[in-house]
Each structure stands twice: as C-alpha cells, then as structure tokens.
Amino acid sequence: MSTPKLLEIACFNLESALIAEKAGADRIEFCIDYEVGGISPPIDLILEAREKIKIPVYVMVRQREGNFVYSEIEIQWMIQYVLFCATHGINGIVFGALTGENEIDLKTCVRLIEAAGNMSITFHRAIDECVNREGSINQLISLGINKILTSGGQKDALSGLEKIKKLQSTFGKKIIIMPGGGLRSENIKLLMDSGCSEFHSSALEKNSFIADAKEIQTLKQLLT
C-alpha cells in the first residue's frame, strides 16, 4: 500500500488560508509577504486564523526578509513569537537559522526548539543555502526537527528533483523531506517520483497573492 500524500499550502493572507482549507488542503503554512519569500504574520492574524481554520496551521518564524543569520535581539524576538504560537493552539512552526558560513546555527535552533514544546517543526529552504546539505540534514535530525522543506538546492523543486530524490533515499526514513518551490499541478506527477509523501505549494492565482481553489483541488486529486 502506498504512503498517503499530504498537501501543504503556503498562504500569505487569511483569505488564502480559508480558500485552501475549503479546497482540500491538508495543512496551512501561514505567513505574509510573498514577494520576500514569506515572513511572520502579526499575532492578531495568527489568532484569527486559529479561530477560523480547523486543519493544522504552521506559522512562519521569520521576522524580516534577507538572510537567515540572526542577531541576539532577533533571536529573542523569535523565541517570544514561538512561545506565543505554542500557547495559542498553533500546530507547528517553520524556521531556518544559519551561521555566517552557511552552516546550521545549532545554538539558535536548540533555543527555538525548546520554546516550541510539542509543536511540529519544519526547517525551511534555508537548508538549500547550506554548504554541506547532507551534513546539515544529519544535524537537523539529531536536533529532532520533523520536516525539511527543500528545492534540492535549486531555484525550484523540479530543477532540484534528482537531488530531492537522493535526499529522500538517504534521509526519508529519519525525517520528512518535503519538496517545495514552483510546485504546481503541471509538475506534481514528476515530483511524486521523488518518493516523498508531503508536498508544498503556494498554488496562487495568476498575477495574484490569493490561493487558487481549482489549483489546490487539482493538486489534491493528483496526489490521491
């Protein structure tokens, strides 16, 4: 029997999250500002999303655009933000923290993991910037990270398909490898060849920051 496939939709506003849930998404990655790759939504929006959305909600923990090397002040903000999510019914957090040498910032990760408590943890596409991706994934596994969102180090998941296949083959029994980046209904079948069981898409309407219900429905059908 094949492993059930799960669809996570990155939503950059509450309207998209509601559309995604109704269209059959399994989980929401909640953030704002698509143009910069997603940053943390304000806490009032988190509360509204948690009240209105019944499927699991994972929240992006990224205070600003740019790199993933954080100052102590930024780390303190992230910790408080994670604690807020943990005490207000959020199911998971999504973050990435690197050193100036593009290696995993282990100390910061440990602090955020401790703040997260029982929430699920996804390390996002910061992994694609790591100089030693395989070694970095081994570190994330040792930390207890649940999932890794990756495009295989390429501009999108389709371009990185062969590398994603290798990551899934090497690490898939120890951590969830989730392809993301340019994932759409026209290429999801190819990406399913990776052997992965969870997939990440923003599924936006053309020239819009709003989720496309028909695209989400099609993705779900193809994953079934």
Could you give all domains of the chain from N- to C-terminal order, each with its CATH number?
A: 6-223 (3.20.20.380)
Please state, in angstroms and rounded to a whole number, the distance separating the CA atoms of residues 7 and 30.
14
Judged by DSSP in three states, 222 sits in helix
Mean pLDDT per 10-residue segment, the chain (224 residues)? 86 98 98 95 97 98 96 98 98 98 98 98 97 96 98 96 97 98 96 96 95 98 94
One-character DSSP codes across 41-92: PPHHHHHHHHHH--S-EEEE--SSSS-S---HHHHHHHHHHHHHHHTTT--E
Phi, psi (degrees; rounded to nearest 5) at 203: 50, 45
One-character DSSP codes across 168-213: HHHHTTTSEEEEBSS--TTTHHHHHTT--SEEEE--BPTTSSSB-H
CB 10 within 8 A of CB 201: yes
Please state, in angstroms and rounded to a whole number, the distance separating the CA atoms of residues 33 and 210.
12
Amino acid at 122: T
**Quick count: other Cβ atoms within 10 Å of Cβ 205?**
14
Which are the contacts of 95, defined by CB distance < 8 A and separation ≥ 6? 60, 61, 62, 78, 112, 121, 122, 123, 124
